[in-house]
Amino acid sequence: MTPYPVHFNAARPEHYSRVQLLLRLVVFVALGTLSVSFGTIFALVYIALPLYAAVRLASFGSAHAYVREDGPRVTKGLHWLASLFAWVGLVADRLPAREAHETVWLSVDETMPQPTPGTAIVRILTSLPSALVLMLLGWLGMFVWLWAALSVLVAERVGPRAFHYLVGLQRWSVRLLAYQACLVDIYPPFSFSEASPMLPEARAMA
């Protein structure tokens, strides 16, 4: 089975900070007073990325130029967003930091996608099945998150099964957003798994 060209991995922290858990709750309350949630932020990005890609594709006149010129910038933005969502989702225990201290990894293989401005915009609709399933899994993930948060409060750790589920949610969302950004043409799989590549530490030991 060929691995999906968008790869997301995270190292499970050996120790979680109760202070960081409290900080997350403060952020949730602050956003709640503004009637904003991270789900709302994801939805806005879901819509904004195809529109951005359509405008840039029309400007460049070719998919190759868009991927070459904007691909690294968009990937970097997705990496930062994934790191932020990983912190919110108890996958990472610190906010996005410098690469040297990174605990979340995102990479996109070079696959030479061939989107057009029209097909980029259409992805807002064609990606809805994946987005709706992700929303359902995210609703179930709230209970997993609460269990993981209780584990952090009591033992300052998150169990491997809860962590695997939370990482799976992050991986699904990153793949979907990369597809929305027209960095790949292959529809995101309905799967949490990541077969390849290995984490940086594992590659160093191989």
Asked whether residue 114 is domain-assigned, the answer is yes
Name the token pair of 196.
């390849």
Asked whether residue 126 is domain-assigned, the answer is yes
Per-residue pLDDT tens for 176-187? 999 999 999 999
pLDDT at 82: 92
pLDDT at 102: 63
Q: What range defines the domain where residue 113 resides? A: 6-187
> Residue written as tokens 């990983």?
86
Per-residue pLDDT tens for 68-127? 999 999 999 999 999 999 999 999 988 776 554 467 899 999 888 999 999 999 999 999
Asked whether residue 149 is domain-assigned, the answer is yes
Tell me the average pLDDT across 142-168. Answer: 95
Per-residue pLDDT tens for 45-76? 999 999 999 999 999 988 999 999 999 999 99
* Among 44, 41, 21, 53, residue whose Cα is nearest residue 154: 21
Asked whether residue 194 is domain-assigned, the answer is no
Asked whether residue 203 is domain-assigned, the answer is no
DSSP assigned state of 1: -
Query: Is residue 206's pLDDT more than 60?
Result: no
Asked whether residue 169 is domain-assigned, the answer is yes
Is residue 125 classed exposed, middle or buried when 0-12, 13-18 and 19+ CB atoms within 10 A define those classes? exposed
- pLDDT category, 29, cuts 50, 70, 90? very high
Q: Do residues 122 and 182 lie in contact, with contact meaning Cβ atoms separated by under 8 Å?
A: no
Query: How many independent structural domains does the chain possess?
Result: 1
Name the token pair of 148.
């993981």
Torsion sign across C-alpha atoms 142, 173, 100, 205: positive
CB atoms within 10 A of CB 98: 6
Q: What is the pTM for the complete model shown?
A: 0.88
Which of 118-132, 142-156, 191-205 comes out lowest in average pLDDT?
Answer: 191-205
* Among 41, 199, 42, 8, residue whose Cα is nearest residue 127: 42
Query: Is residue 201's pLDDT more than 70?
Result: no
Asked whether residue 52 is domain-assigned, the answer is yes
Q: What is the mean pLDDT of the chain?
A: 88
Asked whether residue 206 is domain-assigned, the answer is no
